[in-house]
Amino acid sequence: MNTKRILFTGGGTAGHVIVNLALIPVYQEKGWEIDYIGSYNGIERDLISQLEGVTYHPISTGKLRRYLSKENLKDPFKVLKGTMQAYRIIGKRKPSVVFSKGGFVSVPVVAAAKLRGVPSVIHESDFTPGLANKLSIPFSKKVIATFPETLQYLPEQKSEYVGAVIREELFKGNREKGLKFAGLTKEKPVLLIMGGSGGSQKINETVRNSLPEILSTFQVIHICGKGKVDESISEKGYVQFEYVNEELKDVFAATDYVMSRAGSNAIFEFLALRIPMLLIPLSREASRGDQIINAESFASKNYARVLEEEELANKKLVKELTRLKDVAPVMLDKMKEFKSEKARDRVIEIIREVSK
């Protein structure tokens, strides 16, 4: 019997890799051969290269911008080159199915899979589909959504709502290990601050300017992005990391409250782990507004509070964090209604159904 092979793709941000990281161990346990197509220098390469038994294939990729730029003239050629590279890789590796988490690197992969006659499944995490997934959907066999409301933006005949796919390992964190890793104590509650995989300069600056007030109530674990640690700050109860990978489950276990961007994968993980959250979505000026919609959806269900980036200032931040602590019992009560266990199983079943 021939060994089954699955090819994953997705990248550009950690959010376009997280679901893949949740599924890859399942297929490793099943004995499948696993390939991954990503970019040459994206965060996906750093994350996937740490996994044993996964063959990583880099390809050329562009960024399909919504604004005028000279780079827009070059990017169609990069995408075409990436499609040709993916076509050769798929022809050589012969996967039974392609699973795409989105991001611009996934577009040439899904298109090449269609040319090779290999079925693909696309996962859309956000409330409304991103541009990369919009371009890829015509080439796909199946599209699955995290929000039920997303189905109104997808082709009815091949779309399905499945819910959030959560990494199983995150439920295995240890609070004691998390506190030890961060060098913190049990004296005060722990506030985790995350500005997305690239880090947010505005969030970082506002947090650091507000540290005396914040540290009077919380201890802080600040994941601030690559190259954005401020070595000049040395405050008791405040620790900085560029990025946390293997220890993340323990950091989450040690976390009492979180302040974060509103990327779909991250906020559903906080929800599944029942961590009250203050969300600061990317502004419409810096994005297509998907995080704002994600955050509003969570706020409407009492899963989170929202602070718009335009309103982010020292006094406002401290006030909102105090409010978060006050309303956390209500959030925790609402979070108990959320169940995430069935989503991953259904995704695996869908992949089996569409595989060659």
CATH number reported for the structural domain that contains residue 291 in this entry: 3.40.50.2000
List the domain range (segments joined by +) for residue 82.
Answer: 5-165+340-354
Same domain for 136 and 14: yes
* Distance in angstroms (rounded) separating the CA atoms of residues 116 and 97: 11
Same domain for 240 and 327: yes
Domain count, the chain: 2
Predicted local distance difference test score (pLDDT) of residue 50: 86
Same domain for 292 and 346: no
The β-bridge relationship of strands 142-145 and 159-161 is parallel
Same domain for 275 and 348: no
Same domain for 320 and 276: yes
Q: For 297, how many CA atoms within 13 A lie in the half-sphere containing its CB?
A: 20
Q: What are phi and psi of 248, to 5 degrees?
A: -60, -40
Dihedral angle over CA of 194, 195, 199, 202, nearest 10: -130
Same domain for 146 and 189: no
Q: Which amino acid is located at 64 in the chain?
A: L
pLDDT digits (tens, 9 = 90+) for 115-154: 999 999 999 998 889 889 999 999 999 999 999 999 999 9
Same domain for 346 and 309: no
Dihedral angle over CA of 137, 138, 139, 143, nearest 10: 40
Nearest to 53 by CA among 80, 26, 76: 26
Same domain for 321 and 348: no
Same domain for 260 and 209: yes
Q: CB–CB of 165/342 below 8 Å?
A: no
Element (DSSP H or E) covering residue 160: strand 159-161
Same domain for 105 and 83: yes
pLDDT digits (tens, 9 = 90+) for 147-180: 999 999 999 999 999 999 998 899 999 999 999 9
Same domain for 344 and 279: no
Predicted local distance difference test score (pLDDT) of residue 198: 60
Same domain for 286 and 154: no
